[in-house]
């Protein structure tokens, strides 16, 4: 059952639409003062367990608009030399300066004003810089600076994983790499082990080091990507600007600083080495970010004995109940509603969906799922109608019907007769303000959070607004509705809608919307009006660049066929 949602916040004033997020996981009752979530994960997107509780409020840690950063350094162990850790960091940690410009989803042909932000990063083998994805999200220009150097060097973003909030940068200048020490990745620290977090938080221009100990290791909400992956909680004072800096244990990296708990003192979070290795390994094998796998399931705990008896679970059996399956996942092929998942890759699941982790620790089995590589086979033991079975599932990343985020790309749009059509995304809903969950159109919001895709290319196409003109007068109140059909044909996605409009051979063009609303236009009159409306509103083109590319490909294909 989907619970109410608690907010997650990131310490970035220039990206308010990134400031809230909700995950699937355990929850407590939501206090009355808690804010509404900004990013919300649909029930099928990442977590295999369907409890979607209130989440704690977290903040991202990169400094904005000239604010300098402070870093947090934790002493690796009681016997480690703190000064050695500091010296190691001084030759490895860099300051990152980012200029970015985010899309305007209400006016998708425009970008918002340019913003500046700062974060941290560190060099790793292969002449690469590792940092957070939110440090360089929607970037237009990136510079890096070494400790003790006045020179800033141009950097290029090689790969970005927004789900895991990690990015790899490269610098061409040979001078930049002189004297730098590449940091090696270590292991997950044990509870109460000390770590040193290094970076450039706000409050000064020089590097900063703070210390703390590991207090918790478990899957946690990643604010930036609105996903749930393993994270390490530490008691170090991580602040804005620390994002992307290393947490050092001994002479190796234990994690990457990326967010803290809003309203709490000295509760910070670092991305652990298994997540980092999964990200880097995927980039090295494929040349690009490949994503994290998901089963595409929504599951219910079976902690109630009567529930277990109803599904014929023996006394020694434990597991979780499958309640919903994403049609695009490979699990849809072999699993059914009301199956009980008993084990994943030979690891038994408890009735609360957790699996053993280290010494008397437990984590949700989502972590096992997320550590699988794309196209890797997972063996899942299930109970169906009282009979145990084992099925094979091909793992792969899954996309929500309504994208949770759309960084580093321009929104798609199509304009016809002043009618602005776009695919529904959560960033579009975030444009309704801080309290978007309550202020955005309720029907669109519910579909964004709950509906599952039926086809790989499916989108929810909506009429976002009407640019007023004589041709569309009287239709201005029909905005914010989903477009169901064009001339009687069901709309699959925005590209399909464009093709249906431009290939029209009828005198009249009909759009069927939600609530049985209808828009009908004379096709030739509407085509003429489109140019007039674009000119009046200073819109450069009737469609976004991605649709232009598709249009050009279709023209070339037609020419090839005619020849």
**Parallel, antiparallel, or unpaired: how do β-strands 39-40 and 21-22 relate?**
parallel
Catalytic residue among 44, 67, 138, 165: 165
Residues in CB range of 510: below 8 A, 6 or more apart: 485, 486, 487, 488, 518, 519, 520
| Contact yes or no for 39/60 (Cβ under 8 A) | no
Q: Is 178 a catalytic residue?
A: no
Separation between Cα atoms, residue 403 and residue 408, nearest integer Å? 13
Residues in CB range of 351: below 8 A, 6 or more apart: 301, 302, 303, 308, 318, 319, 320
3-state secondary structure of 45: coil
Separation between Cα atoms, residue 25 and residue 53, nearest integer Å? 6
Phi, psi of 552 (to 5 degrees): -65, -40
Rg of the chain (C-alpha set)? 25
Catalytic residue among 12, 19, 50, 243: 243
Residues in CB range of 52: below 8 A, 6 or more apart: 2, 3, 5, 22, 23, 24, 25, 27, 41, 43
Catalytic residue among 60, 134, 405, 430: 134
Q: Which stretch of DSSP H or E encloses residue 237? A: none
Q: Is 243 a catalytic residue?
A: yes
Q: Is 134 a catalytic residue?
A: yes
Would you give the distance in Å from CA 121 to the centre of its chain? 20
3-state secondary structure of 361: strand
Tokens, residue 352: 């609360």
Separation between Cα atoms, residue 5 and residue 57, nearest integer Å? 11
Q: Which stretch of DSSP H or E encloses residue 98? A: strand 93-100
Q: Tell me which residues are annotated as active site.
A: 134, 165, 243
């Amino acid at each position: 059952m989907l619970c109410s949602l608690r907010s997650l916040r990131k310490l970035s004033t220039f990206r308010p639409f990134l400031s809230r997020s909700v995950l699937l996981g355990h929850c407590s009752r939501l206090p009355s003062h808690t804010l509404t979530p900004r990013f919300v994960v649909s029930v099928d997107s990442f977590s295999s367990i369907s409890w979607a509780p209130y989440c704690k409020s977290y903040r991202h840690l990169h400094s904005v608009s000239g604010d300098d950063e402070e870093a947090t350094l934790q002493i690796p162990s009681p016997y480690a030399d703190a000064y050695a850790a500091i010296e190691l960091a001084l030759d490895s940690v860099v300051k990152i300066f980012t200029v970015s410009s985010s899309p305007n989803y209400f006016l998708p042909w425009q970008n918002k004003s340019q913003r500046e932000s700062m974060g941290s990063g560190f060099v790793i083998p292969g002449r690469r810089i590792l940092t957070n994805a939110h440090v360089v999200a929607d970037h237009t220009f990136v510079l890096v600076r070494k400790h003790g150097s006045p020179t800033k060097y141009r950097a290029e973003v090689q790969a970005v994983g927004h789900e895991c909030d990690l990015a790899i940068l490269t610098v061409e200048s040979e001078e930049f790499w002189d004297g730098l020490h590449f940091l090696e990745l270590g292991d997950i620290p044990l509870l109460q082990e000390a770590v040193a977090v290094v970076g450039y938080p706000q409050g000064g221009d020089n590097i900063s080091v703070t210390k703390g100990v590991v207090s918790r290791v478990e899957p946690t909400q990643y604010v930036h990507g609105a996903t749930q992956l393993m994270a390490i909680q530490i008691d170090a004072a991580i602040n804005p600007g620390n994002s992307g800096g290393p947490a050092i244990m001994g002479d190796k990296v234990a994690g990457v600083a990326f967010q803290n708990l809003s309203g709490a003192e000295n509760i910070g979070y670092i991305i652990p080495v298994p997540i980092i290795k999964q990200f880097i390994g995927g980039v090295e094998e494929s040349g690009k970010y490949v994503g994290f796998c998901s089963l595409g399931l929504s599951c219910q705990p079976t902690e109630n004995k009567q529930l277990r008896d109803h599904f014929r679970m023996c006394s020694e059996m434990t597991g979780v109940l499958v309640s919903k399956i994403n049609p695009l996942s490979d699990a849809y092929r072999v699993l059914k509603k009301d199956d009980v998942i008993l084990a994943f890759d030979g690891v038994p699941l408890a009735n609360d969906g957790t699996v053993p982790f280290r010494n008397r620790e437990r984590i949700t089995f989502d972590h096992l799922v997320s550590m699988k590589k794309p196209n890797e086979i997972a063996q899942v033991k299930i109970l169906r109608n009282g009979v145990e079975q084992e099925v094979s599932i091909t793992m792969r990343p899954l996309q929500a019907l309504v994208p949770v985020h759309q960084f580093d790309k321009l929104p798609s749009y199509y304009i016809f007769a002043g009618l602005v059509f776009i695919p529904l995304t959560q960033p579009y809903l975030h444009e309704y303000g801080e309290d978007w969950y309550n202020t955005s159109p309720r029907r669109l919001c519910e579909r964004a959070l709950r509906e599952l895709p039926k086809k790989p290319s499916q989108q929810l196409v909506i009429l976002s607004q009407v640019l007023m003109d004589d041709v569309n007068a009287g239709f201005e109140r029909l905005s914010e509705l989903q477009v169901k059909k064009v001339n009687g044909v069901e709309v699959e996605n925005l590209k399909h809608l464009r093709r249906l409009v431009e290939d029209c051979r009828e005198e009249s063009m009909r759009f069927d919307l939600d609530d049985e609303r209808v828009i009908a236009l004379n096709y030739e009159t509407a085509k003429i009006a489109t140019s007039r409306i674009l000119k009046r509103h200073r819109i450069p083109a009737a469609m976004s660049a991605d649709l232009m590319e598709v249009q050009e490909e279709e023209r070339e294909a037609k020419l090839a066929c005619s020849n």
